[in-house]
Amino acid sequence: MSEDDEFQSARVIIKHLQGQTQDLDAELSVSDRADLTAFQTLIQTALEPATLYTLWVEAESFNKHTQVSTRPSYIKCISSQILLLEQQRLCEWLATNTCGNNS
């Protein structure tokens, strides 16, 4: 199982448990809830993107780990999505940073 599958699996488990009748966080103090929110935010905004970047974009890691442990059809699908996202980001960057649009 690749790292991105692990993130998705964790989300599925958490969502399932949250759907149960019992609140998993009910016994947490206000301070513990704040810590939990901070850690969730850290993972979603920094660690997950960094892990995904390392697995899919950095050539050495992709060749040693991702490519070896992932089906070729999945790699092709994900790679095309990454390329589309990168193209979209480049277009957005160009739209705001081209001649006459700089502030």
Both 11 and 59 in one domain: the answer is yes
Number of compact structural domains in the chain: 2
Q: pLDDT digits over 62-95, tens only? A: 888 877 777 776 766 776 677 677 767 767 776 7
User: Could you tell me if 66 and 35 lie in one domain?
Assistant: yes
Enter the pTM of the model.
Answer: 0.42
52 — pLDDT class (breaks 50, 70, 90)? confident
Q: Is the domain of 102 the same as that of 57?
A: no
Residues 7 and 55: beta-carbon distance below 8 Å = no
Residue 49 pLDDT:
80
Same domain for 66 and 76, yes or no, is no
Structural domain harbouring 88: 71-103
**19 and 65, same domain (yes or no):** yes
In this structure, the answer to whether residues 23 and 35 fall within a common structural domain is yes
Q: How far lies 96's CA from each of 79, 92, 101, in Å?
A: 26, 6, 6
Q: Is the pLDDT of residue 51 over 90?
A: no
Residue 49 sits in the same domain as residue 62: yes
